Amino acid sequence: MKDITLDVNGKQHKVSVDPDMPLLYALRDDLGLNNPKFGCGLAQCGACTVHLDGQPVRSCVTAVSDAEGKKVVTLAGLGTPEKPHPLQTAYIEEQVPQCGYCINGWIMTAATFLAEKKRPSEAQIKQALEGLKCRCGTHVSILKAVKRAATMMG
Amino acid sequence: MTKFEKPASFSRRSLLKSTGALVVSVGAPLGLDALLAIDKARAQGGKPPLMPDQLSSYIAINGDGTVAAYFGKMDMGHGLFVAIGQMVAEELDVPFKAVTVFMGDTATSVNQGGASGSTGIQFGGKQMRMAAAEARRVLVDMAAEKLAIPADGLTVTEGVVHAKADAARKVSYAELIGGRYFNVQLDWNKQWGNTLYAPGKAQPKPHTAHKIVGQPIKREDVAPKVFAQEDYCTDIKVPGMVHGRMIRPPVAGAVPVKIDDSAVRDIPGLKVVHENGFLGVVANREWDAIKAAEKLKVEWSNTADPFPEQATLYDHIRKAPVRKAQIDQQNGNVDEAFKTAARVIEAEYEWPFQSHASMGPACALVEIKDGQATVWSGTQKSHFVQQGVAATIGLPVENVRVIWKTGPGSYGRNDADDCAADAATLAKAVGKPVRLQYMREQGTGWDPKGPASVHKVRAALDPSGNVTAYEFMTKAFSRVDVDTNGSKPFDTLSGQTRGVALKSGDGFGVPAESYAFANKKMGWETIPPLLDRASPLRTSHLRDPVGPQIHFASESFIDEVAAAVNADPIEFRLRYVKDPRDRALLEAVRDRSGWQSRPSPRGDQTGTKAAGRGIAYSQRNGTRVAIVAEVEIHRQSGKIFAKKFTVAHDCGQIINPDGLVKCIEGNIVQGISRTLWEEVAFDRKAVTSVDWLTYPILDITETPETIDCVLINHPELPPTGAGEPSIRPVAAAIANAIFDATGVRIRRVPFSPERVKQALS
């Protein structure tokens, strides 16, 4: 066990954990943040995605010790009902989710992509999101929402 | 008012202090506090018993006039609660926003069957509509007494009953009954589950009066989901909770013979729970439970390899003994007609085992305290899980409460009910609340599977190419090796691993269409499961149970016959389809998709890329769907791009067109995925599809460019289901489009690049 300080959504948290434990469990079990989900534990689906210093990472395979000294942002920290991220607004407008368990992967990955790439083509959007999973099959709506958000972000 | 219609009032003074008192107990977002208030009220006789024959079991008016609708089904992501809210608001004449639908909590709803067979609106909505209509009738009667105006002189506007002639003479629902329960008896048909029906004396509105039903109202749960404010079943925590993980055998059917806990003994709170084949661990911390499950040394019994080589799966099915045979539909004399046929067309089709592979593996939390158990689960059927958990831990059913919370995706009888029973078993063993989530390899590897099948179809033609006889026979694993819910220990992994004898059921199905062939015979045969113990290849219902399999075969075959007589595939179907709604659907999808009338294959493409279009259609319990698929095939890679789908959909009255479109889009995409990619892999010992690499699904880069839905509304008809029907014809539409493009007929799913390449070579 090791004391680790995490900077999550702008707040400092001290946790005493196995340093090899994936960040996902620190966020969910120690910090009580429910947004990153356990989908596979294998970095294959994206349900656990968070930002580490602005880049999307799969928290299910990222050791909690690797997050020390970096800024962790989860879906809850990306935007709020009062100050939503354009992707959150677009998701609501397009009524994307069915079960919604996959949301973290798509929104957190797309957020970084859209911050770096203005006015992407549909093919570029698809490429950026390749590999993320949605089992309910909301693919059509996901793409509409990302396109909508891209327009909102200019 | 009759004696049955007297509103029950609370005797408890504190609840009567304000008219808003009951808002807390029934109208607030569902939480423990709210439910406790209801329980207290019931203990004092304030609430009629939670039985299907009580209006209060479905509808309550809160002190502020808002409406609580208690629903014994739940939403699996299609926004069912929006449609139910629309139907309730419509009948009650209250604003849509005044209605809150509470789903799938055994403490507040009766068993309406859970999420099952696309009946959320068809049966569940029908009951809620009748209950709401009855509530309005009772309220208008109460108003008539209060205002001294005959009921037929009254009308209702936004929850206020007023004189038709004078809107100032009024009384609100809140004033009439707000905060008190209805005490009104309904005419219950004594059925539980999907067939439960308990109308009152009221008739629902004519469809011509509908203002809320039919509107594209949005879901309000999207914002809480994207702002991470909604707790899923995976997110619930209770004080003192510990974490469980299950351990499954490396060879299906093996049981632990020696367990060595030396490597995990120092893990805080570690307990090993073992009974026969049941093996799980519990630890204080989740990560510790995961590590303990990995590190625990287990010696497993030697057991004969349970499975055939996967390559021989369809041979196994063909040669296996028949356990049950059934002819579901027969007219004329098929055998005679085949004897005199000028020409016989026949083909066989094969469909693999498929996994629910829900987005996350199942999770459940079970707390047992003072002889009462509370279960939080993403199950599709909380009332059945209530029975299953009660039987698993030996409590009376009424001492178990199951609270449904959104789960990590569900498309039928997935691993959720197994997980609830496993968690209950662990919780009972360790005497603490246990949150159990399966690992990915268990979610994909050990969920109940959609059954593998072989379909043999033949048609007799006369000299002019007319179909004189048609025979459709399936031989397959049963669709219900375990039942569609976890109400019985023999249907859950907990029961099966602990030694309860299996009771594998038999069932399959036949095509649902309206082809009028003079001689027609359709039936099925089921074979025994591969293993007589807890099996990772046990079967149960997966979205549109057996529908995709059957209609892949039947609608591919109709196309084969059309091609054999050189007919356009839609024109050929219209020669035989007799149901007028089916015909309208085929014509609609033909016209909308810009279908060019000609026989398949098109035969004019020689390049590396070939394009084609295919039609398929089917019915499902009153709903009909016709699909035109347009696909591209890369000959060299064998890769198929399912580019465009035009879907004509008729489910009677449409309650919410936007919700319906989303529902169809999901079905089409999941249908493409199952057609192109999905096949449970296994070896002689175990299922080897254990994650997203070994059980690939459709990627976002393969999303169709267009899914164009043609919604055919029949407001004059009762609504039928939409949750599953549109996945049915997808595989055949794609197969028929591949044939159109290439002239090659693929008769085995999935159409993976390897298989397509092989077929084209």
CATH number of the domain within which B191 lies: 3.30.365.10
Domain closes at, from B428, B445, B462: B445
Sorted by where each begins, the domain ranges of chain A are 2-76, 86-152
Give the mean pLDDT of B515-534.
96
Identify the bridge partners of residue B377 per DSSP, sorted by sequence position: B364, B404
Q: Are the beta carbons of B279 and B470 closer than 8 angstroms? A: no
Q: pLDDT value at position B287?
A: 98
CB contact under 8 A, A139 and B667: no
**B627 conformational bin, left if phi > 0, alpha if psi -120 to 50, beta if neither:** beta
How far is B269 from B3, CA to CA, in rounded Å?
Answer: 57
CB contact under 8 A, A138 and B408: no
What confidence tens digit (pLDDT) does each residue in B415-456 have? 999 999 999 999 999 999 999 999 999 999 999 999 999 999
In chain B, the percentage of residues whose pLDDT exceeds 70 is 94
Q: pLDDT value at position B20?
A: 30
One domain, residues B437 and B452: no
The amino acid occupying position B174 is A
How far is A60 from B652, CA to CA, in rounded Å?
Answer: 45
Nearest to B103 by CA among B423, B407, B356, B419: B407
- Residue B37 banded pLDDT, cuts 50, 70, 90: very low
Instruction: Name the residue facing A75 among B228, B231, B287 (closest C-beta).
Output: B228
Read off the tokens for B335: 């055998």
Q: pLDDT value at position B6?
A: 36
Please indicate whether residue B227 or residue B12 has the higher confidence score (pLDDT): B227
Give the mean pLDDT of B119-136.
98
Treating both helix axes as pointing N-terminal to C-terminal, what angle do B657-676 and A139-152 enclose, rounded to 10 degrees? 120
- For residue B112, pLDDT beyond 90: yes
- Residue B354 banded pLDDT, cuts 50, 70, 90: very high
Nearest CA distance, A141 vs chain B (angstrom): 8
In chain B, which residues have their Cβ closer than 8 Å to the Cβ of A102? Answer: 359
In the DSSP assignment, the letter for residue B568 is -
Read off the tokens for A75: 């879906």
The amino acid occupying position B539 is T
Give the mean pLDDT of B49-63.
95
Instruction: Name the residue facing B699 among A99, A131, A135 (closest C-beta).
Output: A131
The verdict on A146 touching B (C-beta cutoff 8 Å) is no
Predicted complex: ipTM over 0.95: yes
How far is B1 from B19, CA to CA, in rounded Å?
Answer: 22
Nearest CA distance, B474 vs chain A (angstrom): 28
Give the mean pLDDT of B220-234.
96
Is B228 contained in some domain?
Answer: no
- For residue B26, pLDDT beyond 50: no
CB contact under 8 A, B237 and A37: no
- Residue A154 banded pLDDT, cuts 50, 70, 90: confident
Is B218 contained in some domain?
Answer: no
State which CATH number among 3.50.50.60, 3.10.20.30, 3.40.50.10470, 1.10.3720.10 fits the domain covering A2-76. 3.10.20.30
How far is B705 from B645, CA to CA, in rounded Å?
Answer: 9
User: In which element (H, E) is residue A149 found?
Assistant: helix A139-152
- For residue B47, pLDDT beyond 60: yes
Treating both helix axes as pointing N-terminal to C-terminal, what angle do B580-593 and B569-576 enclose, rounded to 10 degrees? 170
Ranges of beta strands (E only) in B384-518 are: 400-404, 434-437, 453-461, 467-477
Q: pLDDT value at position B1?
A: 33
CA dihedral B532, B537, B539, B542 (to 10 degrees): 170
What confidence tens digit (pLDDT) does each residue in A32-78 have? 999 999 999 999 999 999 999 999 999 999 999 999 999 999 999 99
Expressed as residue numbers, the domain containing B179 is 3-213
Sort strands B400-404 and B372-377 into parallel, antiparallel or unpaired. parallel
Residue bearing tokens 């269409």: B513
One domain, residues B373 and B515: no
The verdict on B266 touching A (C-beta cutoff 8 Å) is no
How far is A135 from B672, CA to CA, in rounded Å?
Answer: 12
Nearest CA distance, B435 vs chain A (angstrom): 12
Give the count of domains, chain B. Answer: 4
In B, residues 319-358, which contact A (CB 8 Å cutoff)?
357-358
User: In which element (H, E) is residue B593 found?
Assistant: helix B580-593
The verdict on A129 touching B (C-beta cutoff 8 Å) is yes
- For residue B39, pLDDT beyond 60: no
Q: CA of B299: how far to CAs of B248, B353, B547, in Å?
A: 12, 29, 41
One domain, residues B196 and B170: yes
Residue B642: phi, psi to the nearest 5?
Answer: -85, 95
Nearest CA distance, B664 vs chain A (angstrom): 10
Non-local CB neighbours of B250 within 8 Å, separated by 6+ positions: B300, B685, B686
- For residue B38, pLDDT beyond 70: no
Q: Are the beta carbons of B566 and B601 closer than 8 angstroms? A: no
One domain, residues B169 and B104: yes
- For residue B34, pLDDT beyond 60: no
Q: Are the beta carbons of B192 and B51 closer than 8 angstroms? A: no
CATH T-level fold of A86-152: DNA polymerase; domain 1 (1.10.150)
CATH number of the domain within which B489 lies: 3.30.365
Is B220 contained in some domain?
Answer: no
- For residue B13, pLDDT beyond 70: no
In chain B, which residues have their Cβ closer than 8 Å to the Cβ of A63? Answer: none
Neighbours of B622 (CB within 10 A): 18
One domain, residues B115 and B96: yes
What is the edge-to-edge ordering of all strands in the sheet holding B99-103? B59-61, B67-71, B99-103
Read off the tokens for B44: 């004092």
One domain, residues B413 and B466: no
One domain, residues B295 and B319: no
What confidence tens digit (pLDDT) does each residue in A95-117 have? 999 999 999 999 999 999 999 99
Nearest CA distance, A144 vs chain B (angstrom): 11
String of DSSP letters for B399-433: GEEEEE---S--SBS-SHHHHHHHHHHHHHHHTS-
- For residue B121, pLDDT beyond 50: yes
Residue bearing tokens 């859950």: B492
What confidence tens digit (pLDDT) does each residue in B268-296 have? 999 999 999 999 999 999 999 999 999 99
What confidence tens digit (pLDDT) does each residue in B479-491 have? 999 999 999 999 9
The C-alpha angle with vertex B482 and arms to B672 and B123, in degrees rounded to 5, equals 70
How far is B402 from B379, CA to CA, in rounded Å?
Answer: 9
The verdict on A124 touching B (C-beta cutoff 8 Å) is no
**B114 conformational bin, left if phi > 0, alpha if psi -120 to 50, beta if neither:** left
Q: Are the beta carbons of B350 and B749 closer than 8 angstroms? A: yes
Q: Which residue of A has its CA nearest to B708?
A: A140
**Widest distance between CA atoms in chain B:** 86
How far is A71 from A85, CA to CA, in rounded Å?
Answer: 18
Read off the tokens for B140: 């208008």
Residue bearing tokens 């199950």: B379
How far is B79 from B393, CA to CA, in rounded Å?
Answer: 34
- For residue B19, pLDDT beyond 90: no
How far is B495 from B481, CA to CA, in rounded Å?
Answer: 14
Give the mean pLDDT of B117-130.
98
Neighbours of B87 (CB within 10 A): 32
How far is B438 from B51, CA to CA, in rounded Å?
Answer: 34
Give the mean pLDDT of A18-38.
97
Is B533 contained in some domain?
Answer: no
**Hey, is B41 helix, strand or coil?**
helix
The verdict on B439 touching A (C-beta cutoff 8 Å) is yes
CB contact under 8 A, A126 and B701: yes
Residue bearing tokens 């079943």: B233
What confidence tens digit (pLDDT) does each residue in B462-478 have? 999 999 999 999 999 99
Q: Are the beta carbons of B549 and B479 closer than 8 angstroms? A: no
CB contact under 8 A, B235 and A34: yes
Cβ burial B447-484 (10 Å sphere, 16+ → b, else e): bbbbbbbbbbbbbbbeeebebbbbbbbbbbbbbbbbbb
Domain closes at, from B497, B527, B557: B527
Read off the tokens for B747: 């008769």
